Structure 1
Amino acid sequence: MTNLEEENLDLGGVLQLIGVITIVLLTLAFLSFLLILVIGFILLKKNKLIFPNLALFLMDNLYSVLLKIFLLVGTEDTFYRVGIEFYNKYYEDKFKKAKKRVLVLPHCLRDVKCPAKLTPKGVECVFCNRCGVGEILKVAESRGYKVYIIPGSTFLKRILKEEMPEAVFGVACNRDLFYGMNSLSRKGIPSQGQPLLRDGCINTIVDMEELISRLKSL
């Protein structure tokens, strides 16, 4: 065997060793990250946050990666619920200190025979008592919220641009609510969210008692 062959053999062995070490380190990093994710989820359930600022950075900017990892131990819908719960806890104190607050309700909470009309400001409730939207609106406005009943995200963008609120409370399905709170967080706007109990874009349901209680307490 020539010196060149011996050198190539040694180099190949080194590269193989480096490859094995790299795979081991990446595996350990992945397992550590997964462990942190599980521990964070457990602490979140106990109303505690682990490394809140780091968790916020990861949730804001690497949520797609977190989702893929979370799918190893849970479902996509569960991930959205965990994310909503995290944002609620992280921003609760900042939300309470905000003066100019907006409540955004989905138009699908309305009764199918709702007589209210869609306007450039969203759906204008006429308090017909066919659904609970009127009651929510009365409570929210008494607490200083400006309320919008909207049919989609385009309206939300317009609200943010025109109202420039200090904080936003949103009601929506898990997926839309998570991405809405994520977007607000990346803009530095504190938010709170209340997921729908039943979605489907028509005759949806929200926990009225819990929502009204939160509007009064925040």
Structure 2
Amino acid sequence: MWAKWLRGIVLKIYYPMLMLLGAFFKDKKESFQRHVINLNNSLVLKQGIKTQRILLMLPHCLQIDKCDIRITNNIYNCKRCGRCGVKDLIGVSEDKKLELYMATGGSVARKIVMDVRPHAIVAVACERDLSSGIVDSYPLPVIGIHNERPYGPCFNTSVSIEKVTAAINALCP
């Protein structure tokens, strides 16, 4: 129980203080956000939560820009061509029987969480969206995995399938 309490302190007090510091040290803001995400993930894992009702939340920028199919409304419209990692993430969610959604932004993500009512979330996004989403979702346990952005923000991003799978396995009974 102490991990949940400490998580509240981290997300409601420590995180806002770091973001205030980040306003003055702009070059450090992303590393502050990554630090809070990692701290949150450690505390969620310490809670030992086990549930089948896991929401896997993905950002729309995982879909390659050359794709003719827009999958933001229904991720299962994906043709699974393999040019991006969406095919593999769909496979992981189907194997584990998880709810899988792709969000175009924070408002959409919050609505999905309200509609799905999961017991835990594994979320993929950039540090900014992850850290704010984790804070917004508290006390719901969220494991955040930051995406890789070789072409810059919100464009043809990717994520380690191994990290996503490990996070899901940590929450599954």
Which category of TM-score, normalised to the shorter sequence, fits these structures?
0.7 to 0.9
* Counterparts in 2 of 1:128 and 1:141: CA distance versus 1, 3 Å: same
Indicate whether 1:111 and 2:64 are aligned. Answer: yes
Q: Which position in structure 2 is the counterpart of 1:19?
A: none
Indicate whether 1:85 and 2:22 are aligned. Answer: no
Instruction: Give matches, 1:177-188, under 5 Å.
Output: 177-185=130-138, 188=139
Give TM-score, length-normalised by structure 2: 0.81
User: Considering only CA atoms, is the larger Rg found in Structure 1 or Structure 2?
Assistant: 1
In the alignment, is the contact (CA less than 8 A) between 1:115 and 1:126 conserved in 2? no
- Quote how far apart the aligned CAs of 1:64 are: 1.9
Which string of whole-angstrom CA distances, capped at 9 and with x for unpartnered residues, describes residues 20-63 of structure 1? xxxxxxxxxxxxxxxxxxxxxxxxxxxxxxx7456423322222
Unaligned 5+ segments in structure 2 are none
Q: CA–CA distance in 2 between the matches of 1:113 and 1:217?
A: 34
Indicate whether 1:194 and 2:130 are aligned. Answer: no
The aligned amino acid for 2:59 is P
- Quote how far apart the aligned CAs of 1:110 are: 1.0
Q: CA–CA distance in 1 between the matches of 2:113 and 2:18?
A: 27
Higher relative contact order structure (alpha carbons within 8 Å, sequence separation ≥ 6):
2
Q: Which position in structure 2 is the counterpart of 1:66?
A: 18
The aligned amino acid for 1:190 is P
- Cα-Cα RMSD: 2.6
* Counterparts in 2 of 1:93 and 1:141: CA distance versus 1, 3 Å: farther
Deviates more, 1:51-60 or 1:133-142: 51-60
- Quote how far apart the aligned CAs of 1:181 are: 0.8
In the alignment, is the contact (CA less than 8 A) between 2:62 and 2:84 conserved in 1? yes
Deviates more, 1:171-180 or 1:74-83: 74-83
Unaligned 5+ segments in structure 1 are 1-50
- Quote how far apart the aligned CAs of 1:205 are: 2.3
* Counterparts in 2 of 1:176 and 1:206: CA distance versus 1, 3 Å: same
- Quote how far apart the aligned CAs of 1:176 are: 0.7
Q: CA–CA distance in 1 between the matches of 2:72 and 2:63?
A: 15
Q: Which position in structure 1 is the counterpart of 2:86?
A: 133
Q: Which position in structure 1 is the counterpart of 2:7?
A: 56
Report how many aligned residue pairs link the two structures.
165
